[in-house]
Structure 1
Amino acid sequence: MTLGQNNKESILLVDGMALMFRAYYASAATGYIRRTKAGLPTNAIYGFMRYFWDAVQKFAPSHIACCWDLGSKTFRTEQFTAYKGNRSEAPDDLIPQFSVIRDVMESLGIPNISCPGYEADDCIGTLAAKFREDMDVLILTGDHDMLQLVSERTSVIIMKKGHGNYMVYTPESLMQEKQLTPGQIIDLKGLMGDTSDNYPGVRGIGEKTALKLVQEYGSVQGILENLDSLSKSVRTKIESDLEMLHLSRQLAEIRCDVELLCNSDSCRLELNHVVVASKFEELEMASISTLMGLAATP
């Protein structure tokens, strides 16, 4: 079965980590963890498939790839040891589900993409740069950092609260909502830092001031070229934290030049009904087979 019936080719790049964590916590909040008869937790896998398949039906991509983090050590932790150092370990019930969801993606014929030393974001950025030459690129995530990847051929689909609720960012809608270009997202993060990723930016400069500076001067470079125009307080903060400003900007920037083995043919969505239905039968998820319109295995 091939989706994308609009005859226009597009690739959906899935932020696997974002979907798994979202799916896990959405269901764990109820206090009930879905498990197989053998005791394998499957709540995140189940939720992931519901989120994922809703997006596939809504956006009808002809191609799909799913990107993953490999571990906590990346080139960013080498640059700044505290990077993401505030993150707690994944819950015990979630950990075994990461390898199983990769098996599920494999059964769907969807490549799992990752690279040692890089984050899923960098894999997504690299594939977006590669594939936008030939087709429209759709990025499915909950991570607003990805907005820096928006371009004329690349839309970022941010998952909002609840199923089937999305905000689709194009250069126009990004400018309309945030008055920023995609590249300015990186400058903004360099100035204000990111508490989630645990890098500080310029101490004492919050989102409001950072946004005003970027909108007024265009970029970090533009701000530094106009330090004399800034208030004494803001100028002093920037001059005192210049090294961290540059480092934070580097940490915020998604790499688009990772060496990845992935071609468009391997990403074409063509489901083998028997293989997929068999995988969901094994995971005791007949309802997902039904959701996907797959016949039960004979």
Structure 2
Amino acid sequence: MNTTKQPSLMLVDGMALLFRAYYATATSGYIRRTKAGVPTNAIYGFLRYLWDAIDTFQPTHVACCWDMAAKTFRSDQFAAYKGNRPEAPEDLIPQFSLIREVTDCLGIPNLGVEGFEADDCIGTLACRFGSDMNVMILSGDHDLLQLVDERTSVIIMKKGHGNYLVYTPETLYQEKGLSPRQVIDVKGLMGDTSDNYPGVRGIGEKTAMKLIQEYETIEGILANMDSLTKSVRGKIEADLEMLHLSRSLAAIHCEVPVDCDLDLCLLEIDDERVLSKLEELEMKSLSHLMGVALVP
């Protein structure tokens, strides 16, 4: 990896990649396994996704952020937060710890803090290092669009390998007509079925976007309640407390006590160490994709 180029940091949303990789193959009914029966389909797919992104965007530094546990400060604020999530598939569970061993072998730090989500760690690190270098966030999660700024882009993985949509402040405004901060207010209004918080009941994405585009913020909407239709005004008045709570739940916390030494994020591959792990997991075929030299 050529480190003389302009330094840049890629922050990887680990769970987003791992779940995407798992379901990309599991839906077909095929689960890749080692001869001993250990499932590895998510790990195999994760590495393919990760390395394609590294080849495409050429970061000098990489770190991977993980959710640590189901309970976070958000579940303290709202007990039902993410309460609708099903249990992880049985074949995926052993791959949670294995993938961290693999990223560790790549020299990529695994980061996470109890009580916070990976998004919060990503937001904190983007704020911390964004003044010194360009930051790229790799995920499939549109919640992270609130972190976009002049030095931080969000790379959304689309369907299929090598298919990305890169969000900057300009592309976010062109596509959605929103600033990064307004992403939070839209989520406050419409809620999030995936994270299981309701927002204002009866207000969907289309109405939420229209309101924020017109009044700019939730405060702007509340200051102009007389201008709203009777129906929309009634819905907001009935769910005012939940509106504020939902906005709070939607906001990524950017002051997490996450320990990250930037020097340890420098992407330098130890071919022998990586090859040994790939052989152990019976996926040596990936060595060519990853540019790992076969050790004689």
2:201 and 2:28 mapped to 1: Cα distance?
38
Distance 2:191 2:30 in 1: 36
**In 2, Cα distance between equivalents of 1:178 and 1:249:** 18
Unaligned stretches of 5+ residues in structure 1: none
Aligned CA RMSD, in angstroms, stands at 0.9
**Counterpart pick for 1:242 among 240, 243, 261:** 240
After superposing on structure 2, the runs of 4+ consecutive aligned residues of structure 1 that deviate more than 6 Å are: none
Q: Distance in 1 between matches of 2:96 and 2:116?
A: 17
Q: Is 1:118–2:137 an aligned residue pair?
A: no
Asked if 1:258 corresponds to 2:234, the answer is: no
Please report the TM-score for the alignment, with normalisation by the length of structure 2: 0.98
Partners of 2:7 and 2:171 in 1: how far apart?
Answer: 22
Q: After TM superposition, give the deviation of residue 3 of structure 1 in Å.
A: 4.5
Equivalent AA in structure 2 for residue 17 of structure 1: M
The SS at the match of 2:63 is strand
Q: For the Cα contact (< 8 Å) 1:3–1:61, is it kept in 2?
A: no
Q: Structure 1: how far apart are the matches of 2:129 and 2:96?
A: 26
- The residue number in structure 2 matching 1:70 is 68
Q: For each residue in 1:148-194, what CA deviation from the matched residue of structure 2 results, as whole angstroms up to 9, or x when unmatched?
A: 00000000000000000000000000000000000000000000000
The secondary structure found in structure 2 opposite 1:138 is strand
Q: Aligned partners of 1:266 and 1:27: how far apart in 2?
A: 32
Q: Which amino acid aligns with 1:84?
A: K
Q: Aligned residue for 2:28?
A: 30
Partner amino acid, structure 1, of 2:78: F
The number of residues matched between the two structures is 296
Is the 1:151–1:170 Cα contact (8 Å) retained in structure 2?
Answer: yes
Which secondary structure does the structure 1 equivalent of 2:12 belong to?
strand
Pairs within 5 Å for 1:90-169? 90-169=88-167
Give the 3-state SS of the residue equivalent to 2:285 in structure 1.
Answer: helix
On the 8 A contact 1:3/1:60 being kept in 2, the answer is no
Shift of 1:75: 0.5
- Structure 1 CA distance for aligned equivalents of residues 214 and 3 of structure 2: 41
1:288 is matched with which residue?
A: 286
In the TM superposition, residue 204 of structure 1 has moved relative to its aligned partner by 1.0
Equivalents in 1 of 2:295, 2:68: separation in Å? 33
Aligned to 2:220: 222
**Structure 1 vs Structure 2: percent identity of aligned residues?**
69
2:185 alignment partner AA: D
Q: Is contact 1:174–1:181 with CA below 8 Å preserved after alignment? A: yes
* Amino acid of the structure 2 residue aligned with 1:221: E
After TM superposition, give the deviation of residue 49 of structure 1 in Å. 0.2
Task: Supply the AA of the counterpart residue of 2:227.
Answer: S
Name structure 2 gaps, 5 residues minimum. none
Q: Does 1:268 align with 2:273?
A: no
Partner residue in 1 for 2:52: 54
| d(CA) in 1 for partners of 2:203, 2:32 | 44
The whole-number CA distance in structure 1 between the counterparts of 2:3 and 2:179 is: 29
Taking the aligned partners of 1:193 and 1:136, their CA distance within structure 2 comes to 31
The DSSP-based 3-state class of the residue aligned with 2:51 is: helix
Contact 1:194 / 1:201 at 8 angstroms: preserved in 2? yes
How far does residue 4 in structure 1 lie from its aligned partner after superposition?
5.9
The residue aligned with 1:44 is 42
User: Does the C-alpha gap of structure 1 residues 4 and 173 become closer, same or farther in structure 2, counting only changes over 3 Å?
Assistant: farther
- Contact kept, 8 Å, 1:278 with 1:297, in 2: the verdict is no
Q: For 2:255 and 2:193, how far apart are their aligned partners in 1?
A: 26
Q: How is 1:192-211 mapped onto 2 (pairs within 5 angstroms)?
A: 192-211=190-209
